[in-house]
Each structure stands twice: as C-alpha cells, then as structure tokens.
Amino acid sequence: MNSVAIWSVHSFSENALRRCLPAVVLMLVLFSNAGAMRGITGILEGRIVDKTSGQPIVGVNIVLLGSPMGTVSNTEGSYRITNVRGGEYNVRFSIIGYKTLVVKQVVISPDLRTKLDVELEVGAVEFAPVEITARQPLIQKDLAATAFSVGGDKVDKLPISTFSEVLTLQPGTTLEGNVRGGTISGTVYLVDGIPVQDVVGGGLGTDMPKSSVSGVTILTGGLDAEYGNTQSGAVNVITKSGRNESSIDLRVERDDWLPEYIDKEVNHAMEFELSANGPMVENTLYYFSANVLTLSDTRWWQDFKNVFPFPVSKQFKGFSKLDYVVSSTSRWSLQGIYSLERWHDYQFSWRYDLNGLPQR
C-alpha cells in the first residue's frame, strides 16, 4: 500500500484577493512512494536478442543512466522497469561477451508503456559502447484516451514564453486555453500529480519556468478515472530533478534590441531565467531550482513612460525541489512553486491621469 502525505498552503488576505494580488502557493510533498502520485510514472519494457541468431539473451544489465533504476533480462530475454518517472533517458544494455549498447533519448510517458527491443552484437573483447537514438512509435497501442505528449527539450525550442502556452498549440484547444469547447475552469492542471488550480478564476494557478519542465502530457478526451474534477481536459506537468552531474544554465531574452526609432512594436520586456541542479550527496540527495525574473513596460509603454519608471510590470516565479533517494523504487521529495507579480493596469479613460491607477 502506498503512503502519501501532501500539504498545500494557500496564503492570501481578503484585501489582497479583492485587489487581484497573485496568490503564493506552497506545495510540500514529504513522502512519495514511487508510482503513488497519479500521472507521474511509466513503464519501460522490451526484449533483448542476439543480433545474429535472434535467440534471447539472459542476464543483460539494463540501466537508466543518471538514475538508480535498472533491471536484468530473464530467461526469455524480456525485461521490465516499472515506476519510471516521466522524462527522457539514455538506456544502457551490457553483458560480458557482447558489445555494450546505449540507446539515447528514450522518452518515458506517464501512465504508458514504452517498448524498447534491442539486438546485441557478440564481442570477443571490450569495445566502446554503440549509441543509437530511440524513435517514438506513431501509434501508442495502449493509449485509449486522446493525449499529446511534449518533452522538455521540445518545450525549450518552441516559440513560447511560458510552458502553459503548449496547451494552446494542441488540436482541440483555443488560445485562451479552452479544451473541446469547455470553460477554463473545466481543465485541471497537475504538477507531479498535484492539482495547481486557480480556485477563484479557474485555470492554472501559477506558471512555472520552462527549464523546470521535463515533459507535458495534455489529455483532451477519454480521460481515465484518476483524473477527477475535470470536464474538458487535463494538463499533467512532470518536473525535472537533480542529477549527479552539476549544471547551471542562464537564459536572457528581450524584445527591444533595436533602437526605438527603428522598431516601436515592443513591450520593452526583459526576461532572465537561471536554473541549477546537482547532487548534495552523490547518488542520495539532489537539488533542482529554476527561477525567472520578467520586467516589462507592457504594450502601453508609450503612455506609461511619462508617468512610471521602468519597469511597469515585475514578475518573479520559480520552482525548487529537493530529492532524497531512499531506494531504486522510492524517494522523499520536498518541492515548492512560488510567484510574485506587481503591475499597473492600463485604462484608456485614465490615460491623462495614469498615476491615479492603483498598483496590483
């Protein structure tokens, strides 16, 4: 039986709610047995055979690089690794007498089985690993629902400023985030299986840095029973975790690289994203943190510039996580989502007295 303890704290005052101040949501997950959280893990399975004879190979070591998970093939050459956190992995197959094989970019989708069959070549001496790239099947046979999965690398490459815009690019959705003609409140948003709904207006309660997303699954029809409190669709976000290799990434974007006399179709927006991850105790305790600072004068900057100094809008959002690996099948996690935004609304009827508009 899986045990899960979840604390969610929503802190806001009546006055802050009335003035539409953003709520700061703190999400603490103190214990999670792998697979207990809905929509987080998948299964990797397949069969290993000799490339020449086609006979199954027994005792092949299968390891998901960068994680403590792995298994060994049975007498039929088959293997299965359950409770694999959704994301992209490199999988290594090794056994004495055969060349080591590394399959790169294997995408594990939550709630689904990923099949990976391989053929190993006989090697009399030790050779360098053979590397190949996995390909996603065009049809997922064990998927009954209408679903679209987008990996973290694809999210980074898409021309979007927030990961939630991935939903608007999928079939059956609108630019406002409506799914199959439903309302915004009819779509449930989950982060690592935990709802992050805006309880007042519906939709996503707070956005997250793009670099914190390992994958996004959008369900727009035929939802399983595990996705409750939804009428239109479900958006399940799988977050990244720290690994044994430390890394720090910085992203800087702005829309006003050209002088104003050349290009005035700008918001004078600047965005800085800093993410870092690595081990605090190798193979045991990991950290991950991604934070974004966005400064903007908004699309009304030509009126605002005479009243307010830069920036008119300030937004800080982030996601941080600590992972303690108890064993290959369970871990303790402490994670939080936080955001803070301050801005001035623009009202045309107040354009000559914008200083009278309250800050939000």
> 294: how many CB neighbours lie within 10 A of its CB?
19
Between CA 106 and CA 91 the distance in angstroms is 7
Asked if 228 and 215 touch (Cβ cutoff 8 Å), the reply is: no
- Look at residue 90 in the predicted model and tell me its pLDDT: 92
| 147 CA to centre of own chain | 16
- Look at residue 147 in the predicted model and tell me its pLDDT: 67
Between CA 204 and CA 215 the distance in angstroms is 16
- Look at residue 250 in the predicted model and tell me its pLDDT: 93
pTM, entire model:
0.68
Between CA 190 and CA 147 the distance in angstroms is 15
Regions of the chain where pLDDT drops below 50: 1-36
At residue 19, the 3 state secondary structure works out as coil
- Look at residue 159 in the predicted model and tell me its pLDDT: 76
- Look at residue 141 in the predicted model and tell me its pLDDT: 62
- Look at residue 120 in the predicted model and tell me its pLDDT: 93
Peptide bond into 159 cis (omega under 30): no
- Look at residue 244 in the predicted model and tell me its pLDDT: 87
